[in-house]
Amino acid sequence: MQVIVRFLRRYGWLLLGIVLFSILAFNVSWADTWQALRRLTWGAILILAVANVAALLPMFGRWWVILQAQGEPVPFWDVARYSLGGFAISYITPGPQFGGEPYQVIQLNRKHNVPLAQAAASVTIEKMLMLLTNLLFLIPGVVLLVQSQLFATADLRWVVWPGLMGVLALAGLLGGWVFNRRPLSRLAHRLPSRWSNPINETENVIADFCHNRPRALLWASLFSAANWLLLAVEYGMMAQFLGVPLSATQALIMLTVFRLALLMPIPGGLGAVEGGHIWIFEAMGIPMGAELAVSFSLLIRLRDILLTCVGLWWAGTLPAAVGQESP
């Protein structure tokens, strides 16, 4: 019995994702799904690959700018490697938005002698900007979603307020650092020293960066916005190549549903992404909605699995890196 409990604790969310995906798989015509995927030409696949690389570069650049401004001359392609490794670890752990940050910190510390506080601060700032950008772009999409005919309600407070509170909380924290304040340290002063000391040290580095390097913070924010916009363009191109008839508003609503599905605490959003696409395609009245939705989801899934494989291959150097001692 204890073995079963331990197994469920470790793999329960993955099993849930597999169950959700299996339920969806039995209700879809795979012949029609394959027919939709066959619309992709090699030229379209090449264009999508280039679009994905173009969308990844600002994501790498966001973290690289922060490190350069900290005085840590980590090469851009090393930053790309660690970012992709972090993405891969996050993708296969519950909650695909986070999980790979310790790997990124360790790689900086072990391979480039970046102090732990500096490394943790750079990753924290990078993730803060990612979250803030996501919320800023998702709120308009959620508003459009609930204002559409899919939801017969004019009261948006229950939808908008949580997102706005999240934006205000992140913006307030970032603003506090810009004005050289340390709100986290104040909250952590009651914690044991083994927890409060690392928090204080890391926040000191973060506040120093945000207060003294506003230009670098601005550039990192612009990279973050460019990353989101290019991902949206790639998403729209996928729909176009698969023959999905979408207006700009519908594309934004679909992208919002996709990004919200990724917030589910399931590795890679397995089942949630596919289910979300099927629901929104059929709700919009798109012909062959379920089959087109699954083909769309499979294309996204293939892209992310390829990126995860590359990232895990790079992340495979982690045990050796951990075993090394900093000079």
Distance (Å, rounded) from C-alpha 58 to C-alpha 230? Answer: 9
**What pTM did the predictor assign?**
0.77
- Kindly state whether residue 24 falls inside one of the protein's structural domains: no
At 127 the pLDDT is 86
Instruction: Compute the chain's Rg from CA coordinates.
Output: 21
Q: Is residue 11 part of a domain?
A: no
Average of pLDDT values for 20-40? 68
Domain total of the chain: 1
Per-residue burial over 239-249, b = 16 or more CB atoms within 10 Å of its CB, e = otherwise: bebbebebeee
157-166, 223-232, 241-250: segment of lowest average pLDDT = 157-166
Q: Is residue 280 domain-resident?
A: yes
Range of the domain at 103: 50-317
Instruction: Report if residue 322 sits inside a domain.
Output: no
In a domain, 23, yes or no: no
Res 121: pLDDT: 87
Measuring CA to CA, which residue among 181, 184, 186 is closest to residue 211?
181
Range with the lowest mean pLDDT among 34-48, 108-122, 185-199, 310-324? 310-324
- Average pLDDT of the chain, as a whole number: 77
Half-sphere exposure of 158 toward its Cβ, with a 13 Å CA cutoff?
6
- CA dist., res. 118 & res. 184, Å (int): 16
Q: Is residue 84 part of a domain?
A: yes
Task: Tell me, yes or no, whether 18 lies in a domain.
Answer: no
Residue 7 has pLDDT above 50, yes or no: no
| Greatest Cα-to-Cα distance within the chain, rounded to the nearest angstrom | 63
User: Which tops the pLDDT comparison, 61 or 11?
Assistant: 61
Q: Is 31 a member of any domain?
A: no
Read off the pLDDT of each residue in 100-129 and give the average, rounded to a whole number: 88
**How confident is residue 5, by pLDDT bands cut at 50, 70 and 90?**
very low
Residue 160 has pLDDT above 70, yes or no: no
pLDDT digits (tens, 9 = 90+) for 174-231: 788 888 888 887 777 777 777 777 778 887 888 888 888 888 888 988 998 999 889 8
Smallest Cα–Cα separation from 206: which of 192, 222, 217? Answer: 217
